[in-house]
Structure 1
């Protein structure tokens, strides 16, 4: 993967708030990831399984053998070239949406970050906790500087819950989904082939529908930042 090739994706990430890079991982690399996930001890509280969704929170900590596969030279180059040398991982989740899943996600922005402990810090509010992992809404400028990388382990289209996005909405700040003008900003379906990567800004308005084609939608969701949090707050998953 050449640097000049990656530069073609930078404009979309900046102006539209997302971009799709195909063939970042080979089929063999994806299969190796799936084998590693299947072999993990899935009894811990960060493993959630229902009829509609299987999820692993703190994914890289729960399945440490996956890190060498995920942070391939190609992905490391994407982070360096499109985000910056100073960006680091702050959150990781694995999602497996089965082919007959009725799980859908309404239009929303990703407004929270995961932190190691709850501390009273001005500008950080709307605290919540899941499986002993604290989430909080930080100041908007932190969300505006963060990025998400989604590694697709299956071919994904609108029939099995591909993300729908409203291009450019990451530039509108934080706002309510019920204020969306779909006439002014038509939705785009982000179809991604197995081994491809979707990159997006957290404030990009996005959603996903139910599955209708019987095919899984397995995704590794990684969040990156280059920011230090205020008041002693620490990112939950920043590598040591």
Structure 2
């Protein structure tokens, strides 16, 4: 894989798409594990419009070896760098009948192990005993997100729409987007492909209109150490 081009695209536009990273068999093995889990735990969110698993890699350790194939490890090493580790993981299932859409936003929080008063960290939120905080900008700018697609995804079943280059403008309030200056890009990804993005990239998704599932594994990576009093809550090397 020649990944330098993708590295440049992420730097310039805030995202890139690389198809054919996982084979049909590899995707099938991953989905088999997910289908056989106990979904009664509180980190699992279930509704008609969404099924999500927070702390995905911690909740389903069996899936780790299936996800971190040689292909994916090569991407992490060559595009992100030698010392990157996992800091967050979520599984999203946007069901066939989903009316759920996501307005434009940036991913501005990180998951940490406790809540403490810290300069330049805040605001804080707590969900299901998990602590999220908005860290200083340089921590957010350092994160890469990989979205692994378990289904073909296009504008008809909730593909991400993004505003290219918005990742390099710091905190960017969606209501201030000037559509005379900015353009929207729909990110179609094939089953077994990945989308890599920077969390500060403005992104959203539309409702599903073609009756097809959209299942995505979302994993965030950083190589930054946090202030000593707190830890990344999901750190996996």
- TM interval, short-chain normalised: over 0.9
Say whether 1:129 aligns with 2:126.
Answer: yes
Aligned residue number for residue 36 of structure 1: 33
- How far apart, in 2, do the equivalents of 1:65 and 1:130 lie? 25
Choose which of 20, 25, 31 in structure 2 pairs with 1:23: 20
- How far apart, in 2, do the equivalents of 1:101 and 1:126 lie? 31
- How far apart, in 2, do the equivalents of 1:232 and 1:224 lie? 20
Say whether 1:168 aligns with 2:130.
Answer: no
Deviation at residue 183 of structure 1 after TM alignment: 1.9
Aligned residue number for residue 222 of structure 1: 219
Do 1:149 and 1:198's aligned partners in 2 also have CA atoms closer than 8 Å?
A: yes
Aligned residue number for residue 99 of structure 1: 96
CA deviation string 1:132-183 (max 9, x = no partner): 1100000011001111000000000000000000000001000211110122
TM-score, L = length of structure 1: 0.97
Choose which of 44, 56, 64 in structure 2 pairs with 1:67: 64
Matches within 5 A, 1:1-240: 2=1, 5-239=2-236
Q: Give the superposed CA RMSD.
A: 0.8
TM-score, L = length of structure 2: 0.98
CA deviation string 1:40-62 (max 9, x = no partner): 11111011110000000000011
Q: Report the 3-state secondary structure (helix = DSSP H, G, I; strand = E; otherwise coil) of the residue aligned with 2:161.
A: strand
- How far apart, in 2, do the equivalents of 1:132 and 1:235 lie? 14
- How far apart, in 1, do the equivalents of 2:18 and 2:179 lie? 26
Deviation at residue 231 of structure 1 after TM alignment: 4.2
> Unpaired runs of 5+ in structure 2?
none
Do 1:121 and 1:231's aligned partners in 2 also have CA atoms closer than 8 Å?
A: no
CA deviation string 1:83-127 (max 9, x = no partner): 000110000000000111011110100000000111111111111
Once structures 1 and 2 are overlaid, which stretch shifts more, 189-198 or 40-49?
40-49
Number of residue-to-residue matches in the alignment = 237
